[in-house]
Each structure stands twice: as C-alpha cells, then as structure tokens.
Structure 1
Amino acid sequence: MLTRTGAAMACAAVALVALGVWADYPELVTLGLAAAATLLLAAVWLVAAPHLTVVREVRPHRVFEGTAAQGTLTVTNAGRRRSPPLMVTETVGGHRTTVPVPALATGDSCTVGYALPVTKRGRYLIPPVELGHSDPLRLLHRGQSRGSELVVHVYPRVHPLAMIASGGPQDAEGPTNSSAPLGGAAFHSLREYVPGDDWRRIHWGATARTGTVMARQVVVPDEPRQLVVLDTSAAPYSTASFEDAVRIAASFCVAAESTGLPFRLRTTAAVERESARTALEFLSTVDKDATGRGLAALPDQLRDVVSDTQGVALTVVTGRVEAVTAQLLMLLRPRFLSISLAQLTTGDPVARPRGVLAVSAASSDQFASSWNRLVLR
C-alpha cells in the first residue's frame, strides 16, 4: 500500500514523464523514470516479508469503568535475516493504537506493552493485531494480521452500598424449598443418586428400603431474596442518568453477592440474570428501549417471584418517577418484604411513594452517599 510519501512519488513520476514527453524534455522523463524505479525497488524490498511469531495477551479481560486493560505483545524473529522496524496497530472500539517494535536480529524477541482505550462500559471485540513495515524510504507499507480476536468486557463502575437487613438473619439450618440453590448445609429431601454426587450423602436406609440408591439433597436455606429491577425504558432518562442507573443496578448486584444474599437482576425488557458475573456482563451492554413499557409492566413481570414461603426485597432503579408509577409501587408494597427506589433525576422527585424507601440523586456517586447515610444511620 502506498504511503503519503509514496503517493506523492507516484504522482510526481507520472507528471514528470508526461511533462517531459509533451515538452520534448528528456531530463524530465529521466527524473520521472527514476521516481518510478524507486517505487519498484521499494516494492521488491517488501516482497520478502520477515518471518515473525507473535503472541498477544490482554489482561484483564474484564475491567470496570475507570480502570485500564493492558495489552502485551511479544514478537520473535524466526527468520534467517534481520527483521525491519515494525509498527503494531491495535484497533479497539474504532480507536487505533500504534506501538513501534525495533528491528530484531535472528532469534531475538521484543515485548511491548500498551494501554487499551477501553474507558466506557461495553463489550469490545478486538481484532487481530496488524504488523506493518515499510521500505527504507517509507514509500510503501505492508501490513499483516496476526493472532486471533479477543473480547474485553468493561463493566459499569460499582459503588459500595450497604444492604438492608430484611427477612431476619440467615440460618444454615433454616427452612428450605425445592428451588433453593444446591450446595448448602440444610437438608431438604431425599432424591435418587446421580453420578457426581458425594457418596457420603448416600442414605443407606432409604436405599435398602427402595432398592434404589438414594442421596440427601442439601441446599442453601431460605434467605431474603434480593430482586433488582432496572428500568430500561427511555422516557425517564437522559443519556447521563441512564449510565448512572446502570452503575447503581450493578452496585446493588455486587453488594448482594458480597454479603451472601441470593439475588436476581431483571429489566423491564424481561431480561434476567442470577449471578454477579452474568449480571455485570449484561449490564456492560444494556441500552435503553425506546418502545418499552417501563415500570408499568412490573405487576405482570413480578408474579413469579412472590410466594408465601419465600420473602423478596425489591429494589427498583429508574429515572424520574411520575405519580402513576409511585402509585403502582405503593400497590405492590404488601407483596414484598421491602421496596427500595433509586431515582436518577436532576430535579426534585415528582412523587414519593408511601411505604417505599426512596432515594433521589443526580448521579450514582450522590446516590451511593445518600443511600449509605440513610441505611447505616
């Protein structure tokens, strides 16, 4: 590929030859042919590409907003001749980062590190790196793609949040149900043995009576379930406030998991996640839904999470709350252990639903400060 200098040289060669022929000026023709010959020699120089091996690493593959991901590239000259200086180009999210690699003797290696421009939340697909070198006069450039595609997730920034103690203390031998997660310490029932079960949990008495190998099913006992609902409809938000709402939803998910409370993340677009990692990966790419019903869809979406044997604490994250939405939350209040409302708005809240712990803030930082001050007082 022609560089800017090479393109100028090519234009000059054509112009000089044409002008020399038109003016019957052999010296101009000679200069034009010399320029063309220089381009030809540059092309011959690039025919013999260096034999290089490239190892690329990106760490970490998952970062939070405001932290850096680092790329490391190790280039080894596996050829029989000295490799020319190289330019390594990394493309991330439309931004190109160029890193120079010096000339390498046969068998020599060079490791270069560089920061990846992954500052905003998102899922970044990083294509193979491009190794490029030029002729000594920088007239032509040749690039080769090396390596494979990589994916980097940039999670929303997370604030430390205090969790509300709802539903009583966690008890390792408390009540259980069949939907509780496995792996706890509370006995729930007997079931047939399946390969992979711990043989120490085989119930030999039941096995002798039934003729089928039976095992004890131990689960995590019932605990107050945390349900975080992120409103993804477009109406309540500005562009900045939606980003803050995503950060707050992520903060509640991380806070629940760090305190050992089971939780679910749902959106008003009917997407659900049940672990911090999957929730954060989803929240790294979530966007507003211009056609969504927003919190008006809550009564239909929440029917399956409320039961007589399992308490649920609901947290709703949204933008500006109107009076109709406040009334809806008050109607839902008796069905939950508690309802918390995070409002991202720059003005005073339109409505404050009774019986709901509502905190209004203009940013996620202000919300975290106000929430912790209210909960920990």
Structure 2
Amino acid sequence: MACTAVALVALGAGADYPELVTLGLAAAATLLLAAAWMVAAPRLTVVREVRPHRVFEGSAAQGTLTVTNIGRRRSPPLLVTETVGGHRTTVPVPALATGEGCTVGYALPATTRGRYLIPPVELGHSDPLRLLQRGHRRGGELVVHVYPRVHPLALIGAGGPQDAEGPTNSNAALGGAAFHSLREYVPGDDWRRIHWGATARTGTVMARQVVVPDEPRQLVVLDTSAAAYPGALFEDAVRVAASFCVAAETTGLPFQLRTTGALERESSGPALEFLSTVERGRADRGLAALPGRLRDVVSDTQGVALTVITGRVDAEIAQLLMLLRPRFLSISLAQLTTAAPVTRPRGVLAVAAPTSDQFALNWNRLVLR
C-alpha cells in the first residue's frame, strides 16, 4: 500500500493527472489510519493450558486458551500462534466485547519423541482492512515431553523367583511373609512369631524375622553407540527399550534402564522421560563397554534378568553375552537390524526385526507360544 501511494502520487504529479494524486493520497491516508488503529492495542488477559504435559509419540497434546477483553472498546478478531517443534498452529479468536471472554481449544501435534519447549503464546491483531498486523507474546514457556511409542510385550518366565517365596536379604523391607532369619524379640513384635524352640535353647526370647521377598529385577540396557544403527533404526530401538520398561512396570517387577553411555534411570516415569531425549553418541563404545556397566549388578545377590537392545551383533559381542550368561537369571537380546543376524549367542534369547512393530510381533509369538 505504501509503494502504491508513492507510485500514484509520483505518476500523477509527473503526468499532471490530479486523479492519480488523489488516489495516492487516499492510499497513504488509509495506511496512516491503519497505523493509528494499531497504536491502540486491545487490553486482553490470556490464560493458556496444555494437557497432558507428557504424551506418546504420534498423539497430540490439547491446548486451551482463554482470552478476556478487559479494555474499554471491542477487541478486533485475533490470531493465536503456537509453535511446537518447528510446527506452527494458528487459532482464530473472534472479536470480543468489553468484559467478554472466549475459550478456544486446539491440538498440538507431537509426531516425534523429544522434549519440546513451547514459547509464550503469540497473540496478534490487525486493523479492519488487514493492512497491518501486530503480535504480542503472552504467558510463560511450557515443556511437553513426547515419549517413544510403546508396544505390548510379554516378559519371559525365567525372570521370576527361583523358589515359592522368593529369595530374601537383610536389607529387605519388614512385614512380608518370607522367613529370613531369627533375631532377639523386640517389644512390639507379634508374639505369634516367637520361636519357642530357639528361645528354650538360647535362654533368650527369639522371634522370626519375616520380610518382603526379593523380586527379580529387570535390567534393560540400550546400546546408544552411533555405529550400531544405520538409518532410523535407533528410533525403533528406543521404542523397544520403552516397551520393555513399561512391560516390567505393568507386571509389578522392579526394573532399571541403562545405556552403554554413563546414564541410567529407574522406574517407568523417569525412564520414559529419559528415553524421550536419549541420543546416539559417536564416542560411545557400545556393547563393548557392557562388562564395566554391569559390574555392580553381577555382584549383587538379587536375581537379575538382563535385556539388551542393540543393532547388528558381531561374533565378538555374541561371545561376550555368552560369557555373561551364567551371572544372570536370563539374557534377552533385541536386535533392530535390516540384515540377517550374523550369529546367535548360545543360551541367549535373541529376536531380530527391522522395525519395533515387527519386533513386538516376533517377540510375543516366541515368548507366548
């Protein structure tokens, strides 16, 4: 409009054509009126909510925006812009009278896993002729975690207790049903747990110490080396790791998630949150660093079922897994690869697939048969 005004005035003056000059001045006056309109910005309050703050890959978070006009004049129609992971979502808000409010809902797509920082909402308004537009940022920043997609997986029975009550240790919680040892009676103990035979032999009142039996832990190790996964297979490996963590929590088994780097997470919430941001490392040694990463685990007296998620496994890694096999209740190997497995370690339950969907299908078919 500004260029048109200048061109019309110049052309009209040069050609001695007053009508063109009038049109040019009218265009300039319209632009000035639009600028004057924009100076008086509407007074609005904005309340934004995004729920949930944690969603799974492929789903969408729901945003809710409540806009209230607290000014003295009617606010013009507005455009609200939200940005998530580089994707811009524009939501129209109708004109609002003084004191009137409006609540609009919109979907924030979350197509890929990650931690997304949502900037303050951008609230824009324009003049009646839509010549100028002005935006204001309102509210604070929000964080949305997009978890990797999870497939239903069955856990193998080898990870269960080795006896009816399960093994116990002195650090186990009291109040269970598994007998651990005898100890001196303490005031407040249940008198029904007094061991009269030991009391008669020792001359001291002895009571049975019953504890919660140890449950076998599920240890999930994700190979985060860059060389292990060609293409986009690392994303499938992350989904498989998340699926094993959720399967362990669903069955009530304690679990721990580790990577071949120096990071680890326990319990499902932090594990999934960590997996939403985990990346491959070029300096990561991969499964070659497995003995060092498991040194504290294999020395524990509690039974551990190990699950390793990686890409293609060579003969050296297969030999390493066979050497580790006697130290665990079971070892499972999940391979995300498009090539045929080079070797299958003896004593290790190995399942290979080119995608996480196909892996879940192959795994459940093998475990549940």
User: What is the TM-score when the length of structure 1 is the normalising length?
Assistant: 0.85
**Who is 1:321 aligned against?**
313
1:70 aligns with 2:32: no
In 2, Cα distance between equivalents of 1:77 and 1:184: 60
Deviation at 1:370, TM superposition (A): 1.2
Q: Which moved more, 1:283-292 or 1:271-280?
A: 283-292
1:188 to 1:280, Cα distance in 2 relative to 1, 3 A: farther
In 1, Cα distance between equivalents of 2:97 and 2:137: 21
**Who is 2:273 aligned against?**
281
1:232 aligns with 2:230: no
**Who is 2:194 aligned against?**
none
Query: Retained in 2: the 8 A contact 1:162–1:255?
Result: yes
Q: Which moved more, 1:164-173 or 1:318-327?
A: 164-173
1:168 aligns with 2:161: yes
Q: Which moved more, 1:49-58 or 1:263-272?
A: 49-58
1:345 aligns with 2:337: yes
Query: Retained in 1: the 8 A contact 2:59–2:109?
Result: no
Q: Which moved more, 1:345-354 or 1:32-41?
A: 32-41
In 2, Cα distance between equivalents of 1:118 and 1:74: 22
Name the SS for the 1:157 alignment partner: coil
Name the SS for the 2:232 alignment partner: helix
1:184-223 mapped onto 2 (5 Å cutoff): 185=176, 221-223=213-215
Deviation at 1:33, TM superposition (A): 2.6
Query: Retained in 2: the 8 A contact 1:176–1:220?
Result: no
Deviation at 1:89, TM superposition (A): 0.7
In 1, Cα distance between equivalents of 2:83 and 2:366: 45
In 1, Cα distance between equivalents of 2:136 and 2:258: 44
**Structure 2 unaligned blocks of 5 or more:** 190-208
In 1, Cα distance between equivalents of 2:22 and 2:315: 84
Query: Retained in 2: the 8 A contact 1:170–1:223?
Result: no
CA deviation profile, 1:226-280 (whole Å, cap 9, x unmatched): 1100001111212321111000000001111111111110001121000101010
1:36 to 1:62, Cα distance in 2 relative to 1, 3 A: same
Deviation at 1:23, TM superposition (A): 4.5
1:220 to 1:147, Cα distance in 2 relative to 1, 3 A: farther
In 1, Cα distance between equivalents of 2:65 and 2:175: 44
Deviation at 1:331, TM superposition (A): 1.3
Q: Which moved more, 1:312-321 or 1:299-308?
A: 299-308
1:264 to 1:91, Cα distance in 2 relative to 1, 3 A: same
1:43 to 1:308, Cα distance in 2 relative to 1, 3 A: closer
**Who is 1:199 aligned against?**
none
1:17-28 mapped onto 2 (5 Å cutoff): 17-23=9-15, 25-28=17-20
Query: Retained in 1: the 8 A contact 2:161–2:167?
Result: no
In 1, Cα distance between equivalents of 2:321 and 2:175: 34
Query: Retained in 2: the 8 A contact 1:184–1:221?
Result: no
Q: 2:354 aligns with which of 335, 343, 362?
A: 362
Which amino acid in 2 is paired with 1:176? N
CA RMSD in angstroms, aligned pairs only:
2.4
Deviation at 1:80, TM superposition (A): 1.9
In 2, Cα distance between equivalents of 1:131 and 1:141: 10
In 1, Cα distance between equivalents of 2:340 and 2:330: 23
In 2, Cα distance between equivalents of 1:368 and 1:90: 36
Query: Retained in 1: the 8 A contact 2:168–2:212?
Result: no
Identity %: 80
CA deviation profile, 1:68-96 (whole Å, cap 9, x unmatched): 21111111112222111111111111111
CA deviation profile, 1:203-233 (whole Å, cap 9, x unmatched): 6579xxxxxxxxxx99753221111000011
Which amino acid in 1 is paired with 2:96? L
Deviation at 1:291, TM superposition (A): 2.2
CA deviation profile, 1:313-332 (whole Å, cap 9, x unmatched): 11000011111111111111
**Who is 1:197 aligned against?**
none
Query: Retained in 2: the 8 A contact 1:173–1:185?
Result: no
CA deviation profile, 1:81-137 (whole Å, cap 9, x unmatched): 211111111111111111111111122221111110211111111111111111011
1:204 to 1:30, Cα distance in 2 relative to 1, 3 A: farther
Name the SS for the 1:365 alignment partner: helix
User: What is the TM-score when the length of structure 2 is the normalising length?
Assistant: 0.87
1:111-126 mapped onto 2 (5 Å cutoff): 111-126=103-118
Which amino acid in 1 is paired with 2:295? R
In 2, Cα distance between equivalents of 1:311 and 1:68: 39
Query: Retained in 2: the 8 A contact 1:161–1:251?
Result: yes
**Structure 1 unaligned blocks of 5 or more:** 1-8, 190-202, 207-216
Give the total of aligned pairs: 344
1:1-377 mapped onto 2 (5 Å cutoff): 9-23=1-15, 25-165=17-157, 166-168=159-161, 174-178=167-171, 185=176, 221-307=213-299, 309-377=301-369
